[in-house]
Structure 1
């Protein structure tokens, strides 16, 4: 699986979370404490917003702990909203195009999880991506497909409901033609103004996801970045959160609450 974090709030240097915490994201890349795989070395990526509508991305296939450019970039880059991800592949190639976060227009997206039997359903997943968005399909992961399907479901107008519909559609396909686990989903996505996160699974093993309110913003992370566990709250399964400025809202996120009738030819 993967590890990730996101920040929304006052401007801060990226390395304060990516590098400098007791259990920073780079530390998690070689020693994750929660989750299926302690090593997350199949690439990394950053997306940050800094005055333009669209985010800037930096990705590579190196393990995060071995990339000197990552250390320099995070030390000198400040942003009010950023996403960072270290990858453990569930089957697709280790390539820059398969590294998270993914982008389309003003949106950025990163994911920890899987759609069961992706190799069996990949062609049909691609068919769910609207034609006008297919140029943004750069990699081969189900994560990127879910993101672009969500765009087609109305991400701009309904950021949570559109993602819920996309996850539902992919789960239906995995149930019909894939394999177990049908869906594991913990994700963050942003339009540069708002930050969203959701946690869900088709079984009882939803990937870990936590948040920590701070005086000047909020951190969302796969696992706490320090030992002050009382300062961190676990996002419950079947839940999405939305933050904008100093406001935090919780929403129901239940793709399995939709009818799982035949949507697959």
Structure 2
């Protein structure tokens, strides 16, 4: 599968979380501990919001993240209050730039770890359900991007959590109709520049791993010697496929079949239930 992280909070150099932690995302691209594959070298991507730009910037490459000089250069110079990073292990679709996460539409970004089981069977019906006005914006061939455009079709811009629930319910209904009883395995992140939403769900069994960072105020009390914590706001939060280090008390597992919203004024963690569109 894949590994990913999402950051929201005090503007920060991407390098601080992509490279510097003991078990950084770059380390996970070679040595994942909790993924289906140890190595995630089938391309990568980053996306970030900055300044007054309406849309996020994205950078993708089909090579492995651990040896990419351009990624290292960007990470050392870009400072952003909200950013995504993703290292890919393909589940069968081509290794090409248009299949690398995060995906972008207008102000929205989306990235995913997991798969739609039987996607080759369900793909036609999924794509036919996408709003015709959105369809031309699909560039790649992944199940992840198809999920994104289904969610946009089902109202992502007005009701992000509800749209993901309707996307999930639609895919599960299609799965039943085509003899795929448990089609979805997903951890995914979606953002609009102000809010970050993260989901952990599986149609059956245990979803892929997902963690969020503990509150900064609590972490300062536990680890006053950690320089990083002195410079970020109490609302700063990381959501990750697997912990970036071994600080006791720093990482909390996202409950199975739930979702969280990171936003100004307070975070939310709730049960996630699929809906029929």
TM-score bracket for the superposition, by shorter chain length: over 0.9
- Name the residue aligned to 1:222: 241
Structure 1: how far apart are the matches of 2:206 and 2:257?
11
Deviations 1:223-259 (A, max 9, x none): 000012421100001111001135211122111xx46
Larger radius of gyration: 2
Question: How far apart are the structure 2 equivalents of 1:36 and 1:195?
Answer: 25
In the alignment, what sits opposite 2:105?
104
Shift of 1:173: 1.5
1:233 counterpart residue number: 252
Unaligned runs of 5+ in 1: none
Match of 1:248 among 267, 270, 277: 267
Deviations 1:190-228 (A, max 9, x none): 000000001000111201110003352000000000012
1:35 has 2:35 as partner: yes
Deviation at 1:179, TM superposition (A): 3.8
Structure 1 residues 181 and 40, CA gap change in structure 2 (3 angstroms): farther
Aligned residue number for residue 4 of structure 1: 4
Secondary structure in structure 2 of the residue aligned to 1:247: coil
Deviation readout 1:61-105 (Å, 9 max, x if unpaired)? 000001110000011000000000000111100000000000111
1:165-204 equivalences under 5 Å are 165-177=166-178, 179=180, 181-204=182-205
- 2:44 maps to 44
How much has 1:35 moved relative to structure 2? 2.0
Residues 8 and 245 in structure 1, CA contact (< 8 A), matched pair in contact too: no
In the alignment, the residues of structure 1 paired with residue 188 and residue 158 of structure 2 have an alpha-carbon distance, to the nearest angstrom, of: 19
Q: Which segment drifts farther, 240-249 or 152-161?
A: 240-249
Segments of structure 2 that go 5 or more residues without pairing to the other structure are 217-231
Q: Secondary structure at the match of 1:197?
A: strand
Task: Say which SS state the counterpart of residue 269 (structure 2) adopts.
Answer: strand
What CA distance in whole angstroms lies between the structure 2 residues aligned with 1:181 and 1:14? 36
Q: TM-score, length-normalised on structure 1?
A: 0.94
* Other-structure match for 2:59: 58
Large movers: runs of 4+ above 4 Å: none
8 Å CA contact retained: 1:116, 1:178: no
CA distance in 2, matches of 1:181, 1:25: 29
Coordinate RMSD, CA, aligned: 1.4
Residues 53 and 233 of structure 1: CA distance in aligned 2, closer, same or farther (over 3 Å): same
CA offset digits 1:173-200 (Å, max 9, x no partner): 2232264651101000000000000100
Aligned pair count? 258
The answer to which of 90-99 and 212-221 deviates more is 212-221
